[in-house]
């Protein structure tokens, strides 16, 4: 022991129990220190993590509203030019917590002071109930809200709610449809795109043009009143893109009053109603015969005698009782001639042709209110014969317009759509007839307006062509002589059609002016004439003036782009 002390005098050596005690102490210190520094490290890392790498899941206390953030429950609907058709506005809705109401009778009485048109008894009963929440009145005006606030009843409260508004009122009501008080789409586009509109951020652009829509409804309404009809329908369709520019069904309704719309008014005649269209079907019969090669523009048929089959007799409305050329059959709307043309093609082919034009199934469009055509279960000779002039097959007006579009646009069927077609977007379609057939059909339709039954549809300078149609309505399995469906289906400008139109009146009555007639040529054709005169300039067409000799430059300006321009209507 002494030796060690001598050799290493400075070093203090501790041995034995004391040494172990100190060792233990140091070890413990190190462990504790390590633990603490680990803890601090973890906290440090976490602090860095929280402050620097803040996750988006954590709500920041305050943030700015992003530009795209939604501020109302449902997306707007606009027309092709961006005019607002449907929007959601925030309004205040009044609710109460009945448990907090001290004196229901008094409260109801005072409330009636602010909202004079409420039912006091009903409100009182609502306030008596043992519930935590009752709606008292939805969508108050700011003035009403102020009046209620001033009452100072503590149990009353307001909830901000979006309310669907249709600033254009009845215009395009059947296309737009309406929503219920909870903003659920119940009809029209609102119903078809219900989910989409709920989740969408930007507005939904329809193919409608409000200016065209207005003119369409305006002219139809005037004609409906003039001829004392019970209803009317009208369509304007772009034949190249399938866009529906105007769709009107009268009588109409105000979608803003969604609670009190009669079921009868909701009926969309253009898509839901199926009618036997009458002579307008001769367009399809003739086109089919041309395309099958069984008839040409120079063929002729014997229309001397009525056709008798089974217990029916098929005769002409104004019989010529002679041989008629194909253009004449079309021009004078000869049933006999059409029947013979259809039979030449054959009933199987006839059925196939109409089915290709979509006449045998509900038309595809962005509406749920579509009617299924009424077609014969078994297609016999007699069916083919009557269908050739538009009886025995009931289709919706939209079917007819879509079919006629295909005939005049060069022969390609395109499904009608209510959504705006963006420039450059491809349009799918299937060829139904040849270019040549389409051209011949356009010549025939032009003839009808220039020299035939559709003279009243003329709009000078715009080259309207079309076909009249008059059908008797069926009731109790009999055709009613006096109840007619009078229509005119047209397209313009005929050298290269851009738009197809239809005007239809339900049970028009003849007037003195029309010599008591209520046929398509007398009542529906003039509607088309005045519509085209008004919409053509809007759609970018320029009337061709053949009479003015001074004019050196021909002025029929029908460019491809002219109708596409997205001019802003009201802005």
Provide the annotated active-site residues: 279
By beta-carbon proximity to other proteins, the closer residue of 483 and 569 is 569
Q: What gap in Å lies between CA 168 and CA 570, rounded to an integer?
A: 12
**How many CB atoms lie under 10 A from the CB of residue 65?**
7
State how far the Cα of 384 lies from the Cα of 345, in Å rounded to an integer: 10
Query: Which residue pairs from 345-351 have beta carbons closer than 8 angstroms and sit at least 24 positions apart in sequence?
Result: 345/288, 345/289, 345/292, 345/294, 347/379, 347/380, 347/381, 347/383, 347/384, 348/379, 349/288, 349/292, 350/285, 350/288, 350/379, 350/384, 350/387, 350/388, 351/379, 351/384
For other proteins, the closer of residues 73 and 362 by Cβ is 73
CA atoms within 13 A on the CB side of 511: 11
Judged by beta carbon, residue 301 or residue 488, the one nearer other proteins is 301
Q: Where are the beta strands (DSSP E) in 15-81?
A: 77-78
Residue closer to other proteins by CB (options 185, 461) is 461
Q: Which of 2, 6, 7, 62 binds other proteins (CB under 8 A)?
A: 62
460 contributes a contact to other proteins by CB under 8 A: yes
Rounded Cα distance between 188 and 186, Å, is 7
CB of 187 to other proteins, least distance (A): 20
Shorter beta-carbon distance to other proteins: residue 294 or 299: 299
Query: Any contact of residue 169 with other proteins (CB under 8 A)?
Result: yes
| Sign of the four-CA dihedral 466, 470, 474, 475 | positive
- Do the beta carbons of residue 186 and residue 258 sit within 8 Å? yes
CB of 36 to other proteins, least distance (A): 21
- Rounded to 10 deg, the angle between the 120-128 and 104-114 helix axes is 140
Nearer Cβ to other proteins (81/384): 81
Q: Which among 400, 315, 309 is positioned nearest to 347, based on CA atoms? A: 309
Q: Which of 323, 348, 435, 567 binds other proteins (CB under 8 A)?
A: 323
List, as one string, the DSSP characters of 86-129.
Answer: EEEEEEEEEEE-GGG-S-HHHHHHHHHHHSTTS-HHHHHHHHHS
Smallest gap from residue 495 Cβ to other proteins (A): 5
Which segment (128-136, 419-427, 507-515, 550-558) binds other proteins by CB under 8 A?
550-558
Question: Nearer to other proteins by C-beta: 344 or 450?
Answer: 450
> Closer CB to other proteins, residue 320 or residue 352?
320
The yes or no reply on residue 201 touching other proteins (CB under 8 A) is: no
Question: From start to end of 112-228, where are the E strands?
Answer: 134-140, 156-165, 204-205
- Identify whether the C-beta of residue 128 lies closer than 8 Å to the C-beta of residue 104: yes
Q: Which of residues 216-235 bind other proteins (CB under 8 A)?
A: 218
**Out of 145, 300, 434, 511, which residue is the one contacting other proteins (CB under 8 A)?**
300
Kindly state whether residue 261 participates in binding other proteins, applying the rule CB under 8 A. Answer: no
Regarding 97 and contact with other proteins (CB under 8 A), the answer is no
Identity of the residue, 42 or 570, whose beta carbon is nearer to other proteins in the bound complex: 570
CB of 379 to other proteins, least distance (A): 32
Binding status of residue 331 toward other proteins by CB under 8 A? yes
Instruction: Check binding of 152 to other proteins (CB under 8 A).
Output: no
Build a one-symbol-per-residue string for 386-405: x at contacts with other proteins by CB under 8 A, - elsewhere. Answer: --------------------
Q: How far is the CB of 115 from other proteins (least distance, A)?
A: 21
214 lines the binding site for other proteins (CB under 8 A): yes
Does 53 interact with other proteins (rule: CB under 8 A)? no
Q: Rounded distance, CA 282 to CA 276, Å?
A: 12
- HSE at residue 367, side-chain half, CA atoms within 13 A, is 29
217 sits in which H/E element: helix 210-226
Binding range to other proteins, per CB under 8 A, among 279-287, 430-438, 482-490, 534-542: 534-542
**Tokens 């005007």, residue located:** 503
- For strands 77-78 and 204-205, give the pairing: parallel
Distance of closest approach, residue 60 Cβ to other proteins, in angstroms = 9
Collect all residues with Cβ–Cβ distance below 8 Å to 277 and sequence separation of at least 6: 390, 394, 395, 397, 400, 469, 471, 485, 487
User: In 431-513, which ranges are continuous DSSP H helix?
Assistant: 435-451
167 binds other proteins (CB under 8 A): yes
When binding is defined by CB under 8 A, the residue of 157, 325, 434, 564 that contacts other proteins is: 325
Number of residues that bind other proteins (CB under 8 A): 63
CB of 391 to other proteins, least distance (A): 26
289 is a contact residue toward other proteins (CB under 8 A): no
- Using CA atoms, how far residue 483 sits from 228, 232, 470, 480, in Å, is 12, 14, 10, 5
Using CB under 8 A as the criterion, what x/- string covers residues 404-443 for binding other proteins? ---------------------------------------x
Question: Are β-strands 275-276 and 394-395 bridged in parallel, bridged antiparallel, or unpaired?
Answer: antiparallel
Per CB under 8 A, the segment of 58-66, 127-135, 231-239, 338-346 that binds other proteins is: 58-66
Distance between CA atoms of residues 395 and 377, nearest Å:
15
555 part of the interface to other proteins, by CB under 8 A:
yes
Instruction: Kindly state the tokens that stand for 521.
Output: 């040529």
**Separate counts of helices (H) and strands (E) for the chain:** 18, 18
Contact pick of 95, 158, 317, 544 for other proteins (by CB under 8 A): 544
Interaction pattern, residues 486-505, with other proteins; x per rule: CB under 8 A: -------xxx----------
Interface contacts to other proteins, rule CB under 8 A:
61-65, 71-72, 83-85, 87-90, 165, 167-169, 171, 210-211, 213-215, 218, 300, 322-325, 327-328, 331, 443, 446-447, 450-451, 460-461, 463, 493-495, 533-534, 537, 542-546, 551, 553-559, 569-571
């Amino acid at each position: 022991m002494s030796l060690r002390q001598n050799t290493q005098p400075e070093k203090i050596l501790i041995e034995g129990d004391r040494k172990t005690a100190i060792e233990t102490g140091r070890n413990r210190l190190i462990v504790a220190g390590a633990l603490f520094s680990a803890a601090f490290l973890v906290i440090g890392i976490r602090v860095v993590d929280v402050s620097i790498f803040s996750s988006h899941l954590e709500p920041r206390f305050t943030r700015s509203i992003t530009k795209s953030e939604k501020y109302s429950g449902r997306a707007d609907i606009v027309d092709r030019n961006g005019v607002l058709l449907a929007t959601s506005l925030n309004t205040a809705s009044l609710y109460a917590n009945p448990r907090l109401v001290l004196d229901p009778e008094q409260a109801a009485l005072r409330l009636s002071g602010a909202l004079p048109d409420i039912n006091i008894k009903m409100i009182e009963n609502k306030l008596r109930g043992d519930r935590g929440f009752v709606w008292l009145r939805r969508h108050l005006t700011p003035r009403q809200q102020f009046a209620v606030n001033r009452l100072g009843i503590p149990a009353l409260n307001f909830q901000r709610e979006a309310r669907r508004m249709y600033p254009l009122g009845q215009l395009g009501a059947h296309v737009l449809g309406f929503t219920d008080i909870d903003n659920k789409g119940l009809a029209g586009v609102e119903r078809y795109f219900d989910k989409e509109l709920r989740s969408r951020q930007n507005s939904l652009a329809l193919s409608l043009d409000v200016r065209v829509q207005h003119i369409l409804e305006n002219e139809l309404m005037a004609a409906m009143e003039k001829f004392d009809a019970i209803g009317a329908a009208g369509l304007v369709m772009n034949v190249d893109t399938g866009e529906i520019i105007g769709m009107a069904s009268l009588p109409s309704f105000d979608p803003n009053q969604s609670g009190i719309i009669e079921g009868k008014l909701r009926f969309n005649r253009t898509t839901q109603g199926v009618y036997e269209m009458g002579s307008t079907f001769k367009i399809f019969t003739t086109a089919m015969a041309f395309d099958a090669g069984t008839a040409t523009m120079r063929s002729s048929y014997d229309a001397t005698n009525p056709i008798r089959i089974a217990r029916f007799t098929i005769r002409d409305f104004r019989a010529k009782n002679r041989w008629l050329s194909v253009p004449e059959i079309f021009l004078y709307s000869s049933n006999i001639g059409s029947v013979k043309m259809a039979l030449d093609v054959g009933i199987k082919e006839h059925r196939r042709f109409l089915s290709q034009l979509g006449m045998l199934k509900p038309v595809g469009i962005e509406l749920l209110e579509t009617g299924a055509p009424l077609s014969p279960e078994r297609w016999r000779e007699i069916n083919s014969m009557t269908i050739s002039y538009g009886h025995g097959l009931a289709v919706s007006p939209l079917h007819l317009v879509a079919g006629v579009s295909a005939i005049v646009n060069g022969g390609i069927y395109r499904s009608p759509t209510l959504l705006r077609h963006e420039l450059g977007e491809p349009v799918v379609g299937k060829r139904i007839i040849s270019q040549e057939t389409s051209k011949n059909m356009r010549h025939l339709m032009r003839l009808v307006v220039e020299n035939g039954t559709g003279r009243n549809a003329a709009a000078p300078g715009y080259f309207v062509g079309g076909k009249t149609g008059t059908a008797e309505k069926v009731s109790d399995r009999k055709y009613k002589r006096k109840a007619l469906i009078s229509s005119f289906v047209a397209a313009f400008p005929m050298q290269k059609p851009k738009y197809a139109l239809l005007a239809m009146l339900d049970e028009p009555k003849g007037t003195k002016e029309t010599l008591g007639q209520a046929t398509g040529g007398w009542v529906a054709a003039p509607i088309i004439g005045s519509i085209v005169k008004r919409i053509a300039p809007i759609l970018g067409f320029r009337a061709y003036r053949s009479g003015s000799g001074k004019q050196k430059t021909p002025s029929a300006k029908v460019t491809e782009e002219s109708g596409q321009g997205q001019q802003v209507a009201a802005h």
